[in-house]
């Protein structure tokens, strides 16, 4: 069944949601995106996603004239037209068509696309048993500047590497060999009851779920540390979990051949999952 897509002020069937072959998002990855979870028709932390998107567009000097309320209205309409109760939405903004070359001179209007589709919650078994990760050979570069860029080639290669190793996800290191994040989200460790996550650097995305987990940890009176995380820390941590808007909080119980917490989600991870879902329910009312 065809989905309804938002395309620069219009709602069109997906087969008519065409973009130019000269769009810079297609040619160079010159654009940004946001992915959001929808719970019973409401988007969790929508304002924070839009704030991050608008901040990124400002840094890239992409002049999109849509306010936060406009984005919210677009997503509500997509939920309605696609008959979505619970699912996922994505906003994509590119610089649009411009003069050929890296500078993108004389750019026309930016291209804004919105999609929303029904998607069941992730398999509960993954939260009960956890997932297996590998430490990827691919390295994240500071060139990402903390932007949720359309250029995801490093993450794609890392995830493909994990797939070849029969793992569920990949843990990425930065150019210094320090732990950065997962292929599609941030990473947390529990070490001596401290909740530890890599301090934000240009190559690490300031995840919305990451910020929410830090908020929950503070509320639960758990000590929180943002610092450099060494690769060896992964193999001495009591617990490890990944965070993202779609997966929420996902326990990691195996890294390569190393078992984390005897192959079971630990107590801090389980409490974080419980508290996060309770927060979602409160804010979705």
pLDDT tens readout for residues 68-84:
789 999 999 999 999 99
- 141 has pLDDT over 90: no
Residue with token string 């989600």: 265
Q: What is the pLDDT of residue 39?
A: 93
Q: What is the arithmetic mean of pLDDT over 6-34?
A: 95
Domain 4-118 belongs in CATH node 3.30.470.10: yes
Angstrom distances, CA of residue 142 to CA of 42, 175, 273: 34, 8, 30
CATH architecture designation of domain 124-283:
Alpha-Beta Barrel (3.20)
The more confident residue out of 62 and 120 is 62
pTM score above 0.85? yes
Q: What is the pLDDT of residue 149?
A: 94
pLDDT in tens, 239-271: 999 999 999 999 999 999 999 999 999 999 999
Distance CA 39, CA 189 (A): 27
Q: What is the pLDDT of residue 67?
A: 81
Q: What is the arithmetic mean of pLDDT over 4-13?
A: 96
Q: Give me the sign of the Cα torsion angle 110, 19, 78, 8.
A: positive
Q: What is the arithmetic mean of pLDDT over 13-40?
A: 95
Same fold, 4-118 and 124-283: no
State what percent of residues in the chain have pLDDT above 70. 99
- 13 has pLDDT over 90: yes
- 155 has pLDDT over 80: yes
Q: What is the arithmetic mean of pLDDT over 165-192?
A: 96
Q: What is the arithmetic mean of pLDDT over 42-56?
A: 94
Q: What is the pLDDT of residue 64?
A: 87
Q: Give the domain ranges of the chain.
A: 4-118, 124-283
């Amino acid at each position: 069944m065809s989905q309804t897509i938002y395309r620069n002020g219009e709602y069109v069937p997906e087969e008519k949601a065409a973009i130019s072959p000269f769009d810079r998002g297609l040619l160079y990855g010159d654009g940004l995106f946001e992915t959001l979870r929808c719970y019973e028709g409401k988007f969790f932390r929508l304002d924070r996603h839009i704030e991050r998107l608008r901040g990124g567009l400002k840094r890239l000097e992409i002049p999109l004239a849509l306010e936060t309320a406009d984005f919210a209205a677009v997503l509500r309409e997509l939920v309605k037209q696609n008959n979505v109760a619970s699912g996922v939405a994505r906003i994509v903004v590119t610089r649009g068509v411009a003069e050929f070359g890296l500078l993108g001179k004389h750019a026309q209007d930016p291209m804004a696309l919105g999609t929303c589709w029904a998607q069941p919650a992730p398999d509960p078994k993954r939260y009960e048993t956890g997932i297996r990760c590998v430490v990827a050979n691919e390295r994240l570069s500071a060139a990402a500047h903390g932007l949720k860029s359309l250029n995801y080639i490093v993450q794609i290669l890392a995830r493909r590497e994990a797939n070849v190793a029969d793992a569920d996800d990949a843990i990425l290191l930065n150019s210094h060999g320090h732990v950065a994040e997962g292929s599609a989200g941030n990473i947390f460790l529990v070490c001596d009851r401290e909740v530890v996550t890599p301090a934000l650097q240009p190559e690490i995305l300031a995840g919305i779920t990451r910020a929410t987990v830090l908020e929950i940890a503070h509320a639960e009176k758990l000590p929180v540390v943002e610092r450099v995380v060494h690769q060896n820390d992964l193999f001495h941590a009591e617990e490890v979990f990944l965070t993202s808007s779609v997966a929420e909080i996902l326990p990691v119980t195996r890294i390569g051949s190393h078992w984390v917490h005897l192959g079971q989600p630990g107590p801090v991870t389980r409490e974080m999952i419980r508290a996060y879902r309770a927060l979602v329910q409160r804010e979705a009312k």
